[in-house]
Structure 1
Amino acid sequence: MSSFPQIPQTIADEQQLDDWLTTPSSELIEFVRTLSGDLLVLGAGGKMGPSLAVRAKRAIDAAGSPASVIAVSRFSDTTSRQWLDDRGVVTHAADLLDRNAVEAIPDAANVLYMVGTKFGTSQNPAFTWAINTVASSQVMQRFAGSRFVALSTGNVYPFVPVASGGATEDGPIGPVGEYANAALGRERVFQYFSTCNGTPVTLMRLNYAVDLRYGVLTDIGLRVFSGEPVDLRNGYLNCIWQGDANDAIIRALGTAESPHCLLNLTGQETLSVRAIANEFARLLERPVQFTGEETESALLSNSAKCCDLLGAPQISTETMIRWTADWLRQKGRLLNKPTHFEVRDGKF
């Protein structure tokens, strides 16, 4: 998926982590040379958006392109906005549920749609549906002449047999719970306007981006480090380094088409939660406890199509676990936003 400088053994601090997350691959730098027009990142204030926007900005600068990167969010976290401003990203505050605010967003030929909400859905399902569908509709009408990559989720798939290699893009869907159904609603909105208006779109169904401050590996490692039992009810998973995911999201603009293109965005391996926990126990020199039992199915995606188009992820599972263990050992900052990977009933 990408080519980088030499991969470090550990990540020393947040400055190095952010630098690594925002360093563009050589493939990304070459790709942005082919882009015409500015790049708009909608939902740039979330967990992935800031590093994605800065990665794109660094790639554009390295390519010698005059394009701007415009990051749009409500920016309720002013720290995130300042971090982007300091790195040359143009920021624009807007609520995408406000039609007038959407109309006032600057024009851009290329749009990365990172908007969505997951946690708290059980308490406020109406808001989840609104942000996942109404906002998408308004944006697709406002930017009908642009090219889109829109982030979705592997939660739209049913649980599949662990030995299957994961759900494929042409297989059946089977969302469980309000969040997954709202996410499918978001996809349908993009598909509808892509077909009606001829807007090129790629939908990317992501399974578990990993950043040392949050993510499924951090969740598992933290439980081992803290002496808490690791839940095995959802005993298998896929994940991908957030930097690799962001690199692919930007480069997927080159795959956008009408009708839409659909890609699973995740790692190539089916990973055992038990095996991950045991490796953390070894690295952290802590005993590991388990609760629950594995079942024969899990929420898994097959990323072969994406890897064929964009290349395989650069950062291995072994590296991600090693980095995470060291991060926990040095008490690196955590976002305290668990993935709830163990949930099987779709209630978030």
Structure 2
Amino acid sequence: MSTDEARLPARFDSVEVLEDFMTTPTTALVDDLAAVPGDILVLGVGGKMGPTLARLARRAAPSRRVMGVARFSEPGVREALAQAGVEPIAADLLDQSALEKLPKARNVVFMAGRKFGATGDVPLTWAMNVHVPAMVAEVFKSARIVAFSTGCVYPFVPVEGGGATEEVPPLPPPGDYASSCVGRERMFEYFSARHGTPGRLFRLNYAIDMRYGVLHDIGRKVRDGDTIDLSMGHVNVIWQGDANTIALRCLAHTTTPTSPINVTGPETIEVRWLANEFGKLMGKTPRFSGTEAATGWLNNASRMLQEFGPPSVPLARMIEWTADWLMRDMKTLNKPTHYEVRDGQY
């Protein structure tokens, strides 16, 4: 075990301890944010990752204004952000007049988007994933913009190939969600080139913490004796704290025009192997159905590793933490990732 790994906690006794760990900044993050002056505005702060990203930014740059924008439909999120020193701003990003009234921060992290329920209201999915980015790119054309994207913009690639690199042209499998995510990137690319806006396209695949994510989904099925579909037989994952850290560090690593960066762990992970690892830790025998496809939505993290170094939390520790959390029946967000979906219908 490395010295860095030895410093990692053995378990998390509460959500508060978990979130404190995830929002503790690294020296590299503090240094990178010091190199990019100005306030920080997080658009779409109310999702799974937004609150901890905003709190991380606040702790890494305590002298700056850190503002978080969302509709705040989930109770308690707005109050928790305010208590942590993040300024909550209630606004509907689909309302252009509301968008134009937001503070013109020098640094913008765009986290808004629509995935689950995408097939239930297709026009809304395209409006959130394409129209909103176009408006944001215009309104904040003088800012640095790190825009959250997804590995779903890529086609399925062979599982033995190490994942899609940033040079693979976006060409997603069928489905309005993935196609609209390509549209989101194109809007930021177009306006970045038009206005000279520095940015990065943050292609994430998949962030996890104890309460949600691919590891949570698989571990929960092992614990409960549910059958695990192997058709999407390989995945990538990264610790949410590492993903948030890299997103904020990207503000100091922008390009003009904007350019993509894959953000994920360095491994291509077999779902069957993951389930068996959880089985060993939980004393359970996993149940499987289907067979592993030869392709999957997989990202190659080489560029991320070159720019930012390896993630601080290795896969083995994430598995151990998740198994421990699940076996104690700790809090879950009850938001499955649907990582196993291959037809793009969310």
Q: TM-score range by the shorter chain?
A: over 0.9
- Counterpart of 1:165, as a letter, is G
Tell whether the 8 Å contact from 2:200 to 2:261 is kept in structure 1 after alignment. Answer: yes
* Pairing 1:130-209 to 2, within 5 Å after superposition: 130-176=127-173, 177-209=175-207
Give the aligned residue type for 1:121: A
The CA distance in 2 between the partners of 1:242 and 1:24, in whole Å, is 13
* SS of residue matched to 1:72: strand
Q: TM-score of the superposition, structure 2-length normalised?
A: 0.97
Q: 1:160 to 1:45 in 2, by over 3 A?
A: same
Contact 2:33–2:251 (Cα < 8 Å) also in 1: no
Measured after TM superposition, the shift of residue 172 of structure 1 is 2.7
- RMSD between superposed Cα atoms in Å: 1.1
Question: C-alpha offsets along residues 111-162 of structure 1, whole Å, 9 cap, x if unaligned?
Answer: 0000111000111111110001111111111111000100000001111111
Aligned: 1:115 with 2:115:
no
Q: CA deviation at 1:270?
A: 0.3
Aligned to 2:78: 81
Q: Which residue of 1 aligns with 2:65?
A: 68
How many residues of Structure 1 are paired with residues of Structure 2 in the alignment? Answer: 342
Give the Cα separation in 2 of the matches to 1:244 and 1:320. Answer: 12
Worse-superposed segment, 186-195 or 76-85: 76-85
Q: CA deviation at 1:4?
A: 9.2
Distance 1:132 1:178 in 2: 10
* TM-score, normalisation: structure 1: 0.97
Moved more, 27-36 or 316-325: 27-36
- Secondary structure of the 1:164 match is coil
2-structure distance, mates of 1:253, 1:306 = 14
- C-alpha separation in 2, matches of 1:212 and 1:173: 31
> C-alpha separation between the residues in 2 aligned to 1:174 and 1:143?
27
Question: How far apart are the structure 1 equivalents of 2:146 and 2:337?
Answer: 23
What is the aligned partner in structure 2 of residue 319 from structure 1? 317
Matched, 1:129 2:126: yes
Which residue of structure 2 lines up, in the alignment, with residue 90 of structure 1?
87
Q: Which runs of 4+ in 1 moved over 4 A?
A: none
1:322 alignment partner AA: E
User: In the TM superposition, what is the alpha-carbon distance from 1:261 to its structure 2 partner?
Assistant: 1.8
Give the match's secondary structure for 1:132.
helix
Q: Give the % identical residues.
A: 46
Contact 2:33 2:252 (8 Å CA) reproduced: no
Q: Structure 1's 333 and 261: CA in aligned 2 closer, same or farther, altered over 3 A? A: same
- Cα distance in 2 between the residues matched to 1:166 and 1:275: 18
Which runs of structure 2 are paired with 1:226-245 in the superposition (5 Å)? 226-245=224-243
Q: Which residue number in structure 2 is paired with residue 49 of structure 1? A: 50
Contact kept, 8 Å, 1:255 with 1:261, in 2: the verdict is: no
CA–CA distance in structure 2, aligned partners of residues 323 and 4 of structure 1: 13
Q: CA deviation at 1:288?
A: 0.9
Structure 2 CA distance for aligned equivalents of residues 8 and 97 of structure 1: 41
Deviations 1:320-343 (CA, angstroms, capped at 9, x unpaired): 110000000111100110001111
**Residues 117, 128 of structure 1: 8 Å contact kept:** yes
Matched residues in 2 for 1:288 and 1:137: separation? 45
The Cα of 1:173 is off from its aligned counterpart by 2.2
Structure 1: unaligned runs, 5 residues or longer: none
Which whole-Å CA distance do the structure 2 matches of 1:308 and 1:246 have between them?
17
Q: Does 1:341 pair with 2:339? A: yes
Query: Taking structure 1 as reference, are residues 186 and 327 closer, same or farther at Cα in structure 2, changes over 3 Å only?
Result: same
